[in-house]
Chain A
Amino acid sequence: MKPNPADAIFTALADATRRQVIRALSEQGPSTATGLAANLPVTRQAVAKHLSALAEAGLVTATRRGRENLFQISPRPLTNAVSWMADLGARWDQRLAALRDHIAVPRRRR
């Protein structure tokens, strides 16, 4: 099984604070770490750390604005997650075809 981009997404979203951060970001629209921290029960430094983990997973994108980064939700990873599901489906197509062949062949021999 090959590693896939969806892994990074699920891993990033496994953290409750990170989910809070990304929800705040989706509610507030493009924001800085300072702007998000104002509405969250964590420090600006913690928010910045979570944002960089989310950016690494491709869930948010950062653009430089003055001395801070402006973060916004990236829609692309959702597409990746969907394509990961498509990979799962393709794997089952292969497995079930092999299952059918495995069952059909011994029966012909009986």
Chain B
Amino acid sequence: MDVVVREVMVPAPPAEVWPVLTDSDEMSTWFGADAEIDARPGGRGVFRWADGTERPVVVEEVESERRLAFRWLPFQRTAGGHVVAVPSTRVEITLDEVPGGTRVRVVERPAFSLGTARPRSAGGLLAAIGA
């Protein structure tokens, strides 16, 4: 299991869902963190959690009312002010118009694949990271 895929149906057309995904204030209402995001390719963003943790992202893909992709950068600032390394992952959010609203699909995957976790062998993981 090296990819997270989640979907939700929302009762609004993509045109109404899109700003909720790309506007910092709107995003802050559902993301679980204060969002500050520049939703343009190459745009930067930062998410701030209530405990003081901060994580930066860089926006990679923007297709209006259709797709937003961003990458979590591989470090975060902890509540104590330390900068620590964390796994980098890529998040892709896709909107599909369906009867009654929009299907929102999220795919989050590591910057490299975890491979197949085979007991007693790190082969899958190592192959996946090109070791």
CA distance A59 to B74 in the complex (A): 20
A26, B6: Cβ atoms closer than 8 Å: no
Asked if A22 lies at the interface with its beta carbon under 8 angstroms from chain B, I say: yes
B interface footprint on A3-36 (CB within 8 Å = 1, 0 otherwise): 1001100110110100110110010000000000
A55-110 contacts to B, CB under 8 A, are 59, 73, 75, 78-79, 81-82, 84-86, 88-89, 91-104, 107
Asked if B53 lies at the interface with its beta carbon under 8 angstroms from chain A, I say: yes
CA distance A106 to B63 in the complex (A): 25
CA distance A1 to B6 in the complex (A): 19
Q: A19-B129, A85-B1, A93-B6 are in contact. Are A1 and B49 (CB under 8 A)?
A: yes
Residue in contact with B85 in the complex, picked from A10, A59, A88, CB distance below 8 Å? A10
Q: A85-B4, A89-B4, A91-B32 are in contact. Are A26 and B87 (CB under 8 A)?
A: no
A: interface residue count bin? 35 or more
A26, B117: Cβ atoms closer than 8 Å: no
Q: A6-B87, A92-B6 are in contact. Are A26 and B126 (CB under 8 A)?
A: yes
Least CB distance from A77 to B in Å reads 9
A interface footprint on B85-112 (CB within 8 Å = 1, 0 otherwise): 1110100000000000000101010100
Beyond A20-B131, A78-B122, 16 additional pairs, beta carbon < 8 A: A1-B55, A13-B131, A23-B126, A26-B122, A73-B122, A79-B117, A81-B125, A85-B4, A92-B6, A95-B31, A98-B31, A99-B8, A99-B20, A99-B30, A100-B10, A101-B30
29 pairs, CB–CB < 8 Å, chain A vs chain B = A1-B49, A3-B78, A7-B84, A10-B74, A10-B86, A13-B129, A19-B129, A75-B120, A75-B121, A75-B122, A78-B122, A81-B114, A86-B1, A88-B89, A89-B4, A91-B32, A95-B31, A96-B106, A98-B30, A99-B20, A99-B21, A100-B9, A100-B10, A100-B11, A102-B26, A103-B12, A103-B17, A104-B10, A107-B11
